[in-house]
A and B are shown apart, each in its own frame.
Chain A
Amino acid sequence: MASDIQTLESAVVRFAGDSGDGMQLTGSQFTTSTALAGSDLATFPDFPAEIRAPVGTTFGVSAFQINFGARSIKTVGDQPDVLVAMNPAALKTNIANLRAGGLLVVDSGAFTKRNLQKAGFETNPLGTPMLDNYQVIDLDISKMTLEAVKEFGLGNKEALRCKNMWTLGLMLWMFSRNRAPVVDWLNGKFAKKPEIAQSNIAALNAGHAFGETAELSAHIKRYQIGANKTEAGLYRTVTGSQALSWGIAAGGELAGLDIMLGSYPITPASPILHTLSGMKELGVTTFQAEDEIAAICAAIGASYAGALGVTSSSGPGIALKTEALGLAISTELPLVVINSQRGGPSTGLPTKTEQSDLYQAIYGRNGDAPLPVVATRSPGDCFEAAIEACRLAVKYMTPVMLLTDGFIANAAEPWKLPDIDALEPFTVDFAATPAEGESFNPFKRDDKTLARNWGIPGVKGTEHRIGGIEKSYDTGHISYDPDNHQKMTDTRFAKIDNIADDIPPQTIEQGDDTGTLVVVGWGSTYGPISEAVKAARAEGLNVSHMHIRYLNPFPRNLESVLRGFDKVLVPEMNAGQLKTVLRDKFLIDAKPLNQVSGLPFKIEDILSAIRAEVSS
């Protein structure tokens, strides 16, 4: 009955279970239903590095968090309002973060002696004071799922796999969402195994029907979260990896070049390789190389031959590409290098997010080797950021580092579909056959951009030899001349510095243009910083939010904007890298706020730091 439905502005739901419980699928289907209902949302798939960790263990817990609302949603939410725990290990690892008074849904059928033991519980926590702070719905979801799918004759193991759909059905009922998109998706996914599709749909319906029954709704509320009033247009949900891949393809089209991606599998960057591999219709060639070095080298070779070379990896892979990056800088060839950052150093935390490769991006090469660095801030933003990386690469004949991270790569958000036809082209002109009597100089530069001539094989008269050895400024031939090396080094810096005149000036995202405190962020901390500044301003604090997309070179006015504030606070998911760069460039007393837990910032943590900074 509609009168029983409570309207909320937003809610945070976290699905947690064993790696094999299908929590990522449950979460992404809940996301689709939420998106189709028009709510704004942000998601956070939080999964272990192991593909199938031992069943029931705490390190095998996979979770998916979604924050959704009838308002603008910029983070995944500090604390879940609802936690779904499919086994004791999921309860153990997630309960501490559930909001006091929040709703806990557990599959009591999975709380067996063995599972409790694996999770490190001495006694069953269900029904004990340990859970007194929460509203608990403990249901034998396992048993009810088996019952629901009995007629399809699946084995016990296969039948139990449907319990995530049973749970999803219950949650869709609880949040008054439509089941139809999930049913469509199941029918599509299991088109060749109709009995599996039918079983899952039956489980989904059974979970939903269970919610409808009186005994549950007596003490558990149903919620309604409306549509977010946002800009008119056609929307879809998009992950960072998708939007970034599409942006690369768009960049290729706008440049009038075919994309050649060289890549090697690595978490969390692989989805970009997968997505672009499925886009051959656009003339995209993908090359899964034998290693990270070959991946970038093939991309460089492709750029030499007139395509737009792209390579995609994560920190450890970028480290391997370093020498070749220097080659691309020295030969001044366009290249887009994507780093989906993860926790480091070394193998670090492959599936967890961090933004600790900023030094690597800006400085991490032998020799004086400058290149532009652009960072994405959210899944949808990846589209434009990738196009911008392509534009800079071809216009300035340079490799461009495009920084994203594991959180952005996997997270989803609603995205207003861009008007593809309205995107501004930046068509490339290759060097033409020189006039009779004239010779071709590959290092002849554009007066304004300082970009060199791009002559490509296949064109008569522009034959030339290039390489990693220093080249004469005047002819492009090998040169070991001391003055020439100084001049070429200066020119390489000047060329990259020029880009500062070709990017938007730095603006303030939120708050006044001058004042007491500016909170400066880059990359995926955009959401939590934005919400924290909003909350601080609601408390009457004099604070503004600045977000830097262009990390090298910085926008020309960045220093003057920073100097408009008494204090500068830089929250980062690293040990203080942008903070150091700002201090170095501008001698500004930027204060760090650092977190390297592998998790996004909580709004509350940034808010506390803002309060402390303003009052100190």
Chain B
Amino acid sequence: MNQMTAPNEKLTIKDFTSDQEVRWCPGCGDYAILKCMQRTLPELGVTRENTVFVSGIGCSSRFPYYMDTYGFHTIHGRAPAVATGVKLANPELDVWMITGDGDGLSIGGNHLMHVLRRDVDINILLFNNKIYGLTKGQYSPTSDVGTRSPSTPQGSVDPSLNPIIFALGSGARFVARTVDTALKHMPGVFTRAHGFTGAAFVEILQNCIVYNDATWAGVTEKSVVADKQLLLEHGEKMLFGAEGNKGIRFNADTFALEVVVVGEGGITEDDVLTHDESNLQLARMLAELGGNPSEPMAMGVLYAEQAEVAYTDAVIGQVEAVKGKRSLKDIIYSGQTWEVK
């Protein structure tokens, strides 16, 4: 979706802000995401008329109402299918899909899988707050085991789903992660997703202040960010930590990534992996990072490998290749006919 026509005049954050009152709870992480989006779009040089936000149902899915672009607030879980239809009808449009952990991974899990598998040229933002907010706090497919909620008073028992692993498993070719409070990091991720031709999947760790407050605190609190977040940059060493001396190494014995400290036990920077966005195996291992408390979570673009031809282009290409070669009359009048006089 990088074929946008440049607008005549430079648009501003105001141009992308609708006249509708934002109705999220005070302190909701969604506000920051909205602002980041409204701020990033003018930078991307896109037009309001060519931009479409499609959402499902849930707190996050109210997003389109607040963008002064085209917007379609659809039904629970089905945004990927609606967005696919929008893109097939007009491939020139810049389509953003907004979903959450319940909308995208529970009721709409099937559609999310297929929109990623097909590599439909849209940008997908999944706001992951590990809870159902709009329905008043039931546990979601990304909730930690033991989450106490109105529907799980003794604690949830089903294992949680990692959205990044789901996306990679579905065949996504662009997978990234960012945080609702990372106001400097988020626009860069949005920009990368926008520049990618194909389905670009972005998980945003988002805080629900009412029903699941501080669920990401262990990763996003200022005091732990340096140690708990691995900021990925293509071609750069995977270093992190307050001192910048922690690194990620591949351990051939365990066949997994591990945290090492440069300068300890003979470890040098050469032992630390260099990020390669095109390496699917690496992306799969990075997706697992953060599973235990000693590890950081990978942030930024974990995987980006553009297909030669995006799905929508392939579909439209088949139509364009033959369009006009036969008329309706040619089709109907073909085959065996006879004349009655």
Contacts and interface: CB of A to CB of B under 8 A. Distances in A.
B74 A285 contact: no
A198 to B, nearest CB: 22
Contact of A285 (B78, B82, B316, B330): B316
A246 interface: yes
Interface stretch (A66-74, A140-148, A293-301, A485-493): A293-301
A246 B90 CA distance: 23
Interface in B320-341: 321-333, 335-341
A253 interface: yes
A301 B84 contact: yes
Contacts of A246: 328, 331-332
Interface in B79-102: 80-90, 92-93
A236 B336 contact: yes
B315 interface: yes
Interface in A398-436: 416-418, 420-421
A173 to B, nearest CB: 20
Contact of A260 (B54, B88, B327, B331): B88
Interface stretch (B25-33, B42-50, B272-280): B42-50
A279 B341 CA distance: 31
Contact of B328 (A250, A262, A280, A461): A250
A230 interface: yes
B337 A234 contact: yes
Interface string A286-322: 0101110111011111111111010000000000000
Interface in A304-343: 304-307, 309, 323-324, 326-327, 331
A417 B337 contact: yes
A348 B315 CA distance: 35
B156 interface: no
B307 interface: no
Contacts of A327: 74-75
A126 interface: no
B254 interface: no
- With most chain A CB atoms within 10 A of its CB, the pick from B65, B90, B113 is B90
A458 B50 contact: yes
A327 B316 CA distance: 26
A457 B50 contact: yes
Given A294-B81, A297-B85, A298-B81, A304 B331 contact: no
Contacts of B336: 32, 35-36, 181, 236-237
A117 to B, nearest CB: 42
Contact of B83 (A235, A301, A468): A301
B328 A282 contact: yes
B78 A324 contact: yes
Interface in A462-489: 462-469, 477-478
A224 B283 CA distance: 74
A301 B90 CA distance: 10
A302 B85 contact: yes
A227 interface: yes
B19 to A, nearest CB: 9
Given A232-B341, A235-B339, A294-B81, A460 B49 contact: yes
Interface in A215-250: 227, 230-237, 246, 249-250
B271 to A, nearest CB: 44
A464 to B, nearest CB: 7
A555 interface: no
Contact of B85 (A293, A304, A464, A468): A304
Contacts of A531: none
Contacts of B18: 465
A186 B80 CA distance: 45
A280 B314 CA distance: 13
Contacts of A35: 336, 338
Contact of A289 (B64, B81, B323, B333): B81
Contact of B65 (A262, A457, A465): A465
B72 interface: yes
Given A297-B78, A458-B92, A227 B85 contact: no
A38 interface: yes
A464 B70 contact: yes
Nearest to A253: B328
Given A301-B89, A458-B92, A478-B65, A283 B323 contact: yes
B59 interface: no
A299 B89 CA distance: 9
A122 interface: no
A284 interface: yes
B227 interface: no
B114 interface: yes
Contacts of A262: 81, 85
Nearest to A383: B332
Nearest to A33: B336
Contact of A287 (B54, B73, B88): B88
A280 B75 contact: no
Interface string A442-462: 000000000000001111111
Given A282-B328, A283-B323, A458-B90, A260 B85 contact: yes
Contacts of A306: 89-90
Contacts of B89: 258, 260, 285, 301-307, 309
A306 B73 CA distance: 17
A467 B89 CA distance: 19
A234 B333 contact: yes
A38 B341 CA distance: 10
B323 A281 contact: yes
Contacts of B20: 465, 477-478
B132 to A, nearest CB: 18
Contacts of A235: 337-340
Contacts of A465: 18, 20, 64-65, 67, 70-73
B88 A280 contact: no
A193 B74 CA distance: 51
Contacts of B340: 38, 227, 230-235, 416
B180 interface: no
Contact of A324 (B65, B75, B341): B75
A417 B92 CA distance: 38
B319 interface: yes
B199 interface: no
Contacts of B331: 246, 249, 279, 281-282
B337 A285 contact: no
B68 interface: yes
B74 A468 contact: yes
Contacts of A285: 88-89, 315-316, 319
Interface in A35-49: 35-36, 38
B111 A294 contact: yes
B23 to A, nearest CB: 9
19 contacts: A36-B338, A233-B339, A234-B340, A262-B81, A282-B326, A294-B78, A297-B75, A301-B87, A304-B82, A304-B85, A458-B90, A460-B49, A463-B48, A463-B49, A465-B18, A465-B71, A465-B73, A467-B71, A469-B73
Interface of A: 32, 35-36, 38, 181, 227, 230-237, 246, 249-250, 253, 258, 260, 262, 279-285, 287, 289-291, 293-295, 297-307, 309, 323-324, 326-327, 331, 416-418, 420-421, 456-469, 477-478
Closest 3 CB pairs of A and B: A301-B85, A467-B73, A297-B81
Given A236-B332, A283-B323, 15 more contacts: A38-B340, A232-B341, A233-B339, A237-B336, A280-B322, A282-B328, A285-B88, A293-B81, A297-B111, A302-B89, A457-B49, A465-B67, A466-B73, A468-B73, A478-B20
Interface of B: 18, 20, 47-52, 54, 64-65, 67-75, 78, 80-90, 92-93, 110-111, 113-114, 315-316, 318-319, 321-333, 335-341
